């Protein structure tokens, strides 16, 4: 089935690709016969929908709400954002340690931000893709 999917997948969008996959797996059936009839008979309607969907692109495979994991607030991450400011104030009293700790906390926050960003990138891309789908529909 996967080989068949790869051979017939000529979709311009992620949505079309997901729909084809769902159809091949018989996960979903279209019950709106009037819509199917309109796609089959009205060429300009079909082309207009194709153009709008092609504008969305195919690079992002969106996550759906049931696939998003809830992330609890982490107080450690919240405290880390204030460390550079705290250490900068400390540098007023002890310049050597204050500046050293400020630089260390900035570097730590950059590393922390990079690792956290990897976990949020897919969620953010999915949200932006979904918003583009909604915007295109309007």
Per-residue confidence (pLDDT) for residue 2, from 0 to 100 = 61
| List of residues 6+ apart from 133 with CB closer than 8 A | 15, 56, 62
One domain, residues 67 and 52: no
Same domain, 74 and 45: no
pLDDT digits (tens, 9 = 90+) for 16-38: 667 666 766 777 677 778 887 88
Q: 10-14, 52-56, 74-78, 118-122: which range is least confident on average?
A: 10-14
- Give the model confidence (pLDDT) of 35-72 as tens digits: 878 878 888 887 887 777 777 766 666 555 556 666 67
Average pLDDT, the chain: 78
| Same domain flag for 69 and 137 | yes
Judgement on whether residues 98 and 138 belong to the same structural domain of the protein:
yes
Q: What is the pLDDT of residues 92-135, one digit of tens each?
A: 999 999 999 999 999 999 999 988 887 777 777 777 777 777 77
The total number of structural domains in the chain stands at 2
The pLDDT assigned to 109 comes to: 95
Output the six-digit token pair for 69: 């994991």
- Distance separating alpha carbons of residues 105 and 114, to the nearest angstrom: 14
On whether the pTM is more than 0.75, the answer is no
For the chain, first and last CA: distance in Å? Answer: 35
Reported as half-sphere exposure (CB side, CA atoms, 13 A), residue 66 has a value of 0
Domain of residue 42, residue span? 1-59
Same domain, 72 and 115: yes
The answer on 68 and 54 residing in a single domain is: no
Identify the domain boundary among 16, 35, 59.
Answer: 59
Alpha-carbon gap, residue 17 to 58, rounded angstroms: 8
Name the DSSP class of 26.
Answer: T
């Amino acid at each position: 089935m996967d080989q068949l999917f790869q051979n017939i997948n000529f979709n311009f969008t992620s949505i079309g690709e997901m729909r084809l996959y769902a159809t091949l797996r018989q996960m979903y059936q279209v019950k709106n016969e009037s819509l199917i009839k309109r796609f089959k008979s009205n060429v300009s309607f079909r082309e207009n929908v194709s153009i709008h969907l092609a504008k969305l692109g195919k690079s992002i495979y969106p996550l759906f709400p049931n696939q998003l994991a809830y992330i609890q607030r982490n107080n450690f991450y919240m405290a880390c954002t204030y460390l550079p400011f705290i250490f900068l104030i400390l540098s007023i009293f002890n310049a050597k340690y204050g500046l050293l700790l400020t630089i260390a906390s900035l570097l730590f926050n950059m590393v922390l931000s990079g690792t956290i960003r990897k976990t949020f990138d897919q969620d953010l891309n999915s949200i932006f893709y979904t918003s583009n789908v909604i915007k295109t529909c309007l």
